[in-house]
Structure 1
Amino acid sequence: MSGYIHDDVLESLPGKMNQTDINVTGNEEVNDSPIEEVRLTVPITDDPSQPALTFRTWVLGLASCCLLAFVNQFFSYRQNRLSVSSVSAQILVLPMGKLMAATLPTKVVRFPFTNWTFSLNPGPFNLKEHVLITIFASCGASGVYAVSIITIVKAFYHRSLNLVAAMLLAQTTQLLGYGWAGLFRKYLVDSPYMWWPANLVQVSLFRALHEKEKRSKGGVTRLQFFLIVFITSFAYYIMPGQIFASLASLSFVCWIWKDSVLAQQLGSGLHGFGIGSFGLDWSTVAGFLGSPLATPLFAIVNILIGFFLFLYVLVPIAYWTNTYEARKFPIMTSNTYDSTGKIYEISRILNEKTFDLNQAAYNNYSKLYVSVLFAFTYGLSFATLMASISHVALFEGQ
């Protein structure tokens, strides 16, 4: 028996959904989300006739993955990090996919020595292909954390690293992460309460690019709105990116008291607390924490509170009370120092042949010192691991 969901059924669902035109048959489970933002953004319909793992998907997906992996790794070495998200690939592959659909032959190709066949052009470029290609791109855009180890060994310790060993290190850490994600799929993916706000932005963009929408009188469609924002943001970025690069960081306190060390510590956005400093370059805003436009208000407020307590309470107290001789070194730097305040010479405490610590040389040279900000950052990065457990225990432990 076919019909619509009644109000009493909707009231019993988490989140108290409003009446919708979701058609169900018999005792079929209502496939909708208890999160309002998800219900308003993600459609629950599916077209099983659309092909997904096509030749276009593999070609454009692998190309996007490799390209974004290279670009983001390359730009990660900048002082002001520039990150290219999978949204860029999501936009660029659409015309490429449509071009392949219009030009490739429909010839069916068979894998040698197997019965597997595929078509170079199974039909119009569809939404499922587009989504899968973007998932490919996301895998490359996130980068490989273990590359930092390889970079440090080569750049700071001037040691050669075997190519196979470096590749195995990178692959092991990546596969370990994917393995953990698979083990916790039930909680991180399948659970309707585990929603990812940044993904909703991409879902909205998918719908704008693929769905036919009738424009209301005096309004704009999703696609028109996207094009307006895209062109405007592109035109704006020319200013801080090419014409007037100093707009990336404006530190008025440093400009006014340019000879004051205290003013530089308080006002510098690069080596200080950034008081009175702001940037007009979007990569400055979203380079490390991602775009705030896709983050819910409660998360932004939590981040701001933690940021304020850490940067403007904890770090200044530790620095100006000279905890562990903190005032001998810059407030914000990732460099290491010796007891005299000079850059630590790592080569003086390492055995050149075995590449391990020479304890006698270390005792004769100096202790290793780091800036107060770097020390707290390193320590709190370990605390976040326990914080995730505490969060689950406090909010989901009942």
Structure 2
Amino acid sequence: MARLPGTPVFDPVGDQIGRVRDLVAGLRPGRRPNVHGLVVEVQPRRRVFLPITRVRRIEAGAVVFSGRLNMRRFEQRASETLVVGELLDLSVRVGGEPVTVYDVAMEEVKPSTWEITKVAVYRRRRRDPRVVDWSEVSGFDVLQQDQGAAGLIAAFASMRAADVASALHHLPAKRRVEIARALEDDRLADVLEELPPDDQVGILGTLGPERAAHVLEEMGPDDAADLLHELPDEQATELLALMEPGEAAPVRRLLTYPEDSAGGVMTSEPVILPPSSTVAEALAQIRQQDLSPAVAAQVYVSRPPTETPTGTYLGVAHFQRLLREPPSTLLGAALDPSIDPIRPEFTLIEVTSYLANYNLVAAPVVDELGRLVGAVTVDDVLDHLLPEDWRERDDT
């Protein structure tokens, strides 16, 4: 069952309507749990319940159901357990021996009736996995203070950061903290960027100052600045002081701008090259996997230094133009002369109008000295124009 999260869900005519995020079961004393159904996430980030009686096939890469899907938002009942979110990583006992759960299996015992029949476990000190019958395991009904998170993190491994964030948001606070503590700093940073502000602040407060500072260093400077804006001034100052100076500097600059301005939402790390670089070098830069599509859509050209704030800003080269030019062409000859930069003090409405007028996904931000200080991307603008609780709205 740990392999199912992220699996596409298809309706009877073959259209994909969402992805599996978890499974719902009812634990029963002395009996094998019955599986009630699947939690399916449909766009826009709404979690709904798919009864197991509607499931017709579960195969590699697909879950197929029949009938109609009730689009009412899923709400977990007190008697229900989220299999992936709450059972994985539990410490239980098999024949009196302590073991840890890393997967469970369900079986169709009769038409449209599924039960959890097997449990995959390993010893705490020796990772020697084995599969046992549900009846051989005890301890699922015991509340555990420190459940661990290795199994759940493994289930999340292939999921996008936004989907992991959605899963975390819907888990109990205890599990959310356990998982956040177990994630690697860079992965946690990516997930934090996709969480609502309240969740960000809550998780960051459980990490301890040193680790919180390391996670902030892994976040994009604009996202780190947004998060620090949500913290009390004293805590934000402490975390900035603990960050590496080179990582803290761009965040400090972003904090000087109003939150609702171009300077307040821009990224300070766009792709920047000198005019003597070639088209081939520019294309190599925007191929980097960790760049978002909006950031990789253009290369900004300036005089050295090529880190913000740069030397004199010269212009922007769009990736479509780069694809049409010979690889040896110098960037200075591939600039778009029709695009003027915007100023850090532009309001979000002015930035939005600018992007819409010129059909752009990003725009250069230049200060009064003619230096490039960052770039505003369309996803930056959307994050700030949508309602503050847009990440939490799964029923609109």
TM-score (structure 1 length as normaliser) = 0.23
Larger strand share, 1 or 2: 2
Larger helix share, 1 or 2: 1
TM-score (structure 2 length as normaliser) = 0.23
